Structures are given as C-alpha cells and as structure tokens.
Structure 1
Amino acid sequence: MPTPIDGPKVAAKSGVAKQLVVFLHGYGADGNDLIEIGRQWRNFLPDADFVSPHAPERCSMSPGGRQWFPLTMRDPEERWKGVVSARPTLDAFIDQELAKRGLDERSLALVGFSQGTMMALHAGLRRSVAPRAILGYSGVLVTGPETAGEARVAQNPPPAIMLVHGEEDDLIPAQALFLSSNLLGEMGLPAQWHLSPGLGHGIDNVGLVHGALFLAQSFGVPVEFGPRAAG
C-alpha cells in the first residue's frame, strides 16, 4: 500500500479551484521548499489550488529533508528503480487531491525541481489520462528497461511539457535539458525549453515567469501585461 503523503497548500485566489498544481521538491528538501512559488503564481492562475507534498522518505544525506528515492549516483539503474518505486505513492496522492476538489486529470499540472522533475515526468507520462501540463526545473527524463506495467501509456491528448535549466548547473548539467527534450521528441512529445544563462542548480525569476506563462497558456488562462487601455 502506498505511503500516505501530504504537505503545505495554497488555496485558489478566486476561492474556487478549477485547476490543481502539484509541486514536487528536490532531493533533501521538503514541500515547503516550493510552495512559495504557488503564492507568486496566484495572479497568473487565480483558479488554481497549489499543493506541495513532502516526499515519503527521510533523506539519508540531509536528515532534516526528504527524498522521493535514495540517490547516491553510484548505481546507473538507481534513478530508474527510484522513480518506479515512488510512483504509486505520488499517483495515490494526486488521485486523492483531484477527488477532494472534484477535478479531472486535465485540470492537473505537475511542477518538479531536480529529483521532483524526474518524478513529474515519469509519473505524469504514465497516468491513464495525461495531466494538462508538466513543468520541470533542473531535472532529467529518467529512462530504463520498460518492464511489465511500467511502459508509458499512449495518452491522447498528451501533456504540454516545458523544461527549464540553469546553464551553469554543476549537479545535473544543462546537457540533461537537451537530452531529455530529444528523448521526449522521439516519443512524439515535443517540449518547450528555456536555458537560464549563468544559473546553477536552481530557479531564477526569468524561469519562474516562463513557467507561470506556460501553465497559464496550457490551462487557457488569459494573461495581461501592463495597464488596460482606456475606452
């Protein structure tokens, strides 16, 4: 049975949730690490509830943090085994949060950072109905042997996908963005991407704006810039 997870939430600015944005934090952090982004994005997505669950496991390398799965970088199959094992817990959480709000899968967006991006791409591409959007910061598409029950389903329509990465990332090099984008393209899943000059393993303001606009566009939410003209 999947381990129950939960975390901080930010309610829709409008008071009625029509979309659900799920943040998936990185290795050694917890749900509090990304929920502030939800507060910043409320003006872009006024009808969205934002939730940021704590990953199910305590992080061995950061006792105060959490992990979706162990990450030592020594085992080349480690990431694949990790996303496969953590997926049922994430899926159960998503199902629960959608049901609470009476929302369907096309009202869902997954936003990951680092290890959270690995989870967002892996789980999001394997749900029976695709989320509306997947936004991944500083991560990579995890590949491995597609064993029984783990093959990606043919989602129609597929999710909109955007990848954002720091040009100077020394933890997950920027090459991961191009590798992931190419692999997604080979799967018939075109991805938008943005490379942030001078940025390391993190998210900058430009990346946040790109992400917010991408989600708003994916959900069909109009975004206005500057004051309205009179008349």
Structure 2
Amino acid sequence: MLLETIERQTGDNPQWSVIWLHGLGADGNDFVPIVPELVRRHWPAMRFVFPHAPVRAVTINGGARMRAWYDIVGMDLASRADTAGVAESIAQVDALIQREVQRGIAPARILLAGFSQGGAITLSYGLQATTPLAGLVAMSTYLPDPASAASRLVAGATAQPVFFAHGSADPVVPLALGELSMQTLRGLGFTVQGHRYPMAHQVCGEEIKDLADWIEQRLQLPA
C-alpha cells in the first residue's frame, strides 16, 4: 500500500513533482510550510508530496514507537541504520515515484528531497535509481554505510545531481558525517553541490534560497 501523503500544488496541471521525506519522529506536515518560501513565481506548476513514514520502534530511543524511515540501532555510521528498514523505505519511496510517473510526470522531472533520516533514504534511493531523477536534495543528513556504497550503485545513477546542506553545529548528525557522505558521493561520480551553514539540526533561510537557486538550474527555464 502507498504511504499516506500530504500534497500541495503550486498550479494546475503540474509539470514537476517534489517528494519530500521528513526526519525521525516528525511527519509529512513538517516541511509543508517551506513550499511558499521556496517556490518562485516564474516556475512551472509543481506538485509537492510529503509522505508520512511508518510508525516503528526506534532502538536508540529506548524502543519508543514513532514515525521513522528505519530503526536506528547504533551511533556509528556503519551500523546506524537497519538494512531491512532502509530497503523497505526505498521500496515505498519508489512506489510514490511510480505514482507520479503514472500521473504524467517523467522521472527527469521528479526531485527527491529529505531531511535527516529522510535524507538518508533519499541518498540510499539515489544510489539504486535505475531511472535517474532530476536531482536529490539531502539536508542535515548522511549516507548510510558509505563503505558499501559502491556495491549498491547502479549504472546511470550518478547522472542525478545532489544538493547537500549541513549545519556546522549539528548535534544530531555531526558535520563530519555529512562531509564524509559528500566525499563518498563525489568519489562515486555524483555531482554534489555542498553547503555549510552556521546552524544546528535545522533549516535556515539562506539554505532555502540556495536550494531554490539549485532547483531553478534543474528546471532549465528559457532565458
């Protein structure tokens, strides 16, 4: 079954779709307010899709049940994300992408974005995207198990450009994890536009502006 979602359209007959994955313990409502701050008037109509992650027990939080894209089983990067949970979420995201395709939006006009845990799924999906998307947006996040990333990479996936943003004072996902992830992606052949902001585990106005600039490049608007 498809995940429950919240949708916002910036106009009739959207030509582009953005699927946005929230962080641990949040839900799809978390990034809905960003739409009017991000979207520019001259952009084509877009559909924003904000799915709710399933509710599951999270080991690192004492087994408490909350919305999560996967269980966090340890603090070190290699074991932080449970493999089965990541695979399940990748499949659920792919189902949402296929729904957009059925609605008439080609993969080349679909952006996949994620914050924190949602960003980890975004990057994991990106490695395995057999049909490249228009781009990947990774905010305050990391690439799970970077040591095995090369073995998970499929042909053509590196055609997807990556916007990667991180806070220099992030106490949840340390900046070093984000920088290692960016280095790993670049080493695999991805084009990564990296940004560092003087903030904690959050989103800031400058980041939204930079992301809008990056999206505008993807839209290939006429001069």
TM over 0.5: yes
Task: Indicate the larger mover: 20-29 or 59-68.
Answer: 59-68
Distance 1:157-1:142 versus aligned 2 partners, 3 A rule: closer
Distance 1:64-1:11 versus aligned 2 partners, 3 A rule: farther
CA distance in 2, matches of 1:43, 1:189: 27
2:185 match: 184
Task: Give the letter aligned to residue 111 of structure 2.
Answer: A
What RMSD in Å do the two structures reach over aligned CA positions?
A: 2.5
1:133 match: 135
2:48 match: 50
1:94 match: 97
Task: Indicate the larger mover: 106-115 or 171-180.
Answer: 171-180
Q: Out of 107, 119, 122, which is 1:120 matched to?
A: 122
What are the Cα deviations for residues 171-198 of structure 1, in whole angstroms up to 9, with x where unaligned?
101112221111011101121111002x
Task: Give the letter aligned to residue 125 of structure 1.
Answer: L
1:214 counterpart = 2:211: no
**Are 1:28 and 1:59, in contact at CA under 8 Å, matched by a contact in 2?**
no
Distance 1:30-1:88 versus aligned 2 partners, 3 A rule: same
Task: Indicate the larger mover: 3-12 or 169-178.
Answer: 3-12
1:17 match: 14
Distance 1:17-1:167 versus aligned 2 partners, 3 A rule: same
CA distance in 2, matches of 1:42, 1:74: 36
- Which structure's CA Rg is the greater one? 1
**Are 1:27 and 1:59, in contact at CA under 8 Å, matched by a contact in 2?**
no
Task: Give the letter aligned to residue 101 of structure 2.
Answer: L
What is the aligned length? 216
CA distance in 1, matches of 2:56, 2:173: 22
Quick check: which one's helix share is greater?
2
CA distance in 2, matches of 1:136, 1:42: 18
1:83 counterpart = 2:86: yes
Distance 1:33-1:209 versus aligned 2 partners, 3 A rule: same
Task: Indicate the larger mover: 55-64 or 165-174.
Answer: 55-64
Structure 1 residue 64: deviation in Å? 8.4
Task: Give the letter aligned to residue 37 of structure 1.
Answer: I
Q: TM-score, normalised by structure 2?
A: 0.87
2:197 match: 196
Structure 1 residue 80: deviation in Å? 5.1
Distance 1:121-1:211 versus aligned 2 partners, 3 A rule: same
Specify every segment of 5 or more residues in structure 1 that has no aligned partner in the other structure, as ranges.
224-231
**Are 1:131 and 1:159, in contact at CA under 8 Å, matched by a contact in 2?**
yes
